């Protein structure tokens, strides 16, 4: 199933209540997750905004 650019209802709910968990589910433990965790610790709203921006972007696959 193609996940790029399409947020499910579960991802939207998680992005509002637990932003780092929603990013972790989509991208795994990495830079995007750590940045979202930091933003959520600093303030809940920056974490939510970052989660929605990251989850709504369409992924591009590089063939390198």
For the chain, the domains span 9-56
Distance CA 13, CA 18 (A): 8
> Please, which pLDDT band fits residue 3 given cuts at 50, 70 and 90?
low
- Contact 7/55 with Cβ under 8 angstroms? yes
Quick: pLDDT tens for 29-62: 999 999 999 999 999 999 999 999 988 876 655 5
Per the model's pLDDT, the better-predicted residue between 18 and 61 turns out to be 18
Whether 44 contacts 37, CB under 8 Å: no
Tell whether the torsion through CA atoms of 33, 15, 46 and 56 is positive or negative: positive
């Amino acid at each position: 199933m193609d996940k790029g650019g399409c947020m499910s209802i579960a991802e939207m709910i998680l992005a509002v209540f637990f932003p780092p968990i929603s990013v972790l589910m989509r991208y795994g433990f990495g830079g995007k997750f750590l940045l979202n965790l930091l933003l959520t610790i600093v303030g809940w709203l920056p974490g939510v905004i970052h989660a929605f921006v990251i989850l709504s972007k369409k992924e591009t696959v590089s063939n390198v």
